Amino acid sequence: MIREKVAVRSAVDRAAGELVGLSTELHTRPETAWEEHHAAATVPDLLDRRGFTVTPAYLGLETAFLARYGSGPLRIALCAEYDALPGLGHACGHNLIAASSVGAALGLAEVADDLGLTVEVYGTPAEEGGGGKIEMLDRGAFRDVDLAMMVHPAPVDVAEARPFAVSHSRISYRGRSAHAAAYPEDGVNAADAFTVAQVAIGLLRQQLPSSSRVHGIVTSAGSAPNAIPEDASGRWYVRAESLAELAEIEPKVLRCFEAGALATGATLEIEAESKPYAEFRTDTRTLESYRANALELGREFAPGGLASRMNRASTDMGNVSQVLPAIHPYIGIGSLPATNHQREFAAHCVGAEAERALLDGAVALAWTGVDRAREGDRS
């Protein structure tokens, strides 16, 4: 094994206790999108203590940060996600993502001077629906970066991310309350508007591409059974194979919400939660390097099937991949039959198997960065 990879592995091993502690700390204090104040302070603190220059509230975003080490011409970015799911905690394992990215950065920092690297860790809030990386891109993040990487927990290891493009919308209906028994004719039922919309969406699915997804929740719809609901609100996602396909599908779905307003007389407001997430453009050369490094560590990549489908989940890392080379592999934590976005998966995001995935992910990413730097030396 080349000496730089030995040095990287040694650096990650020395930091293992702190990395596991960081992951556990995040897991015990889950914070949802744009509210990750504790995480945005805790994650860069470890980097700061290891000699990284930290910029908090990066680009004016309170729960984002940038940590940088070295001054070499090759700029490698590690993305640290740390937001949790409302009501489910770290059921997507973002505590492990953050710790793995920090670990990879510490490993690369060990060889940054030898390889001509600038190592950057981007603290990226609000991946679970808020589009944090998109907002960061719009404000100038990742400019002139040569490669961006992260590793995401899943039931099993899958190398290539193939996420859907997705839009996230807040849907609100405004009607008029009335006594449901005495004066029902005076009411305009906002909850019924959602019922009409959901029936229309169910019928629309017959004419949508088989790979598309339309799903959502009603977050509020009245407060008393004897009062016609005057307000109803919800959150809805539309997913497609690409942004181009999403642009064709989404207007059809939005017309279903318009149907609910038309049928009931309620007024409708649709608000985008963020810009749409893009499909992922994988840098194949870098991914093959990651795959080889993960195999060297004893990881095993799963064949296709139910357990491997997490690679179809949407991510705002897709938008990053549209503007610079990027990879987003998935690393298994041995959670089956539990899968992402289940309480049982959150429970698997701490413990021995999760810790192994955390450290393997950190080393595999850092080794991939070493490979990228050495390719530059040979060119």
How confident is the model at residue 303, as a pLDDT?
83
Query: Could you tell me whether strands 267-272 and 117-124 are parallel, antiparallel, or unpaired per DSSP bridges?
Result: unpaired
Q: pLDDT digits over 72-81, tens only?
A: 999 999 999 9
Confidence of residue 314 (pLDDT cuts 50, 70, 90): very high
Give the Cα separation of 104 and 77 in Å (integer). Answer: 10
The model's pLDDT over 43-61, given as tens digits with 9 standing for 90+, comes to 999 999 999 999 999 999 9
Contact 329, 303 (CB under 8 A): no
Predicted local confidence at residue 376, as pLDDT: 64
pLDDT tens sequence across 173-196: 999 999 999 999 999 999 999 999
Q: Residue 29 has what pLDDT?
A: 97
Task: Identify the structural domains of the chain with CATH numbers, from first to last.
Answer: 3-163+277-378 (3.40.630.10), 165-272 (3.30.70.360)
Q: Average of pLDDT values for 304-330? A: 89
Please say whether the dihedral angle defined by the alpha carbons of residues 24, 25, 30 and 32, taken in this order, is positive or negative: negative
| pLDDT classification of 26: cutoffs 50, 70, 90 | very high
* Mean of the per-residue pLDDT values of the chain: 95
Asked if the model's pLDDT at residue 296 lies above 80, the reply is yes
Percent of the chain with pLDDT over 90: 94
pTM: 0.93
28 pLDDT exceeds 60? yes
List, as own/partner pairs, every contact residues 334-340 make where C-beta atoms lie below 8 angstroms and the sequence separation is at least 24, other chains included. 334/155, 335/155, 336/155, 336/156, 336/307, 338/155, 339/154, 339/155, 339/307, 339/310, 340/91, 340/92, 340/93, 340/153, 340/154, 340/155, 340/310, 340/313
Residue 375 clears pLDDT 90, i.e. is over it: no
pLDDT at 210 over 80: yes
Mean pLDDT, rounded, for 6-22: 97
By CB atoms closer than 10 A (0-12, 13-18, 19+), residue 140 is: exposed
pLDDT for residue 378: 45
Q: Position 48: which residue type?
A: D
- For the cut 50, the answer to whether the pLDDT of residue 132 exceeds it is yes
pLDDT tens digits, 231-269: 999 999 999 999 999 999 999 999 999 999 999 999 999
- pLDDT over threshold 90, residue 306: no
Q: Residue 167 burial (CB < 10 Å; 0-12/13-18/19+)?
A: buried
In percent, the amount of the chain with pLDDT more than 70 equals 98
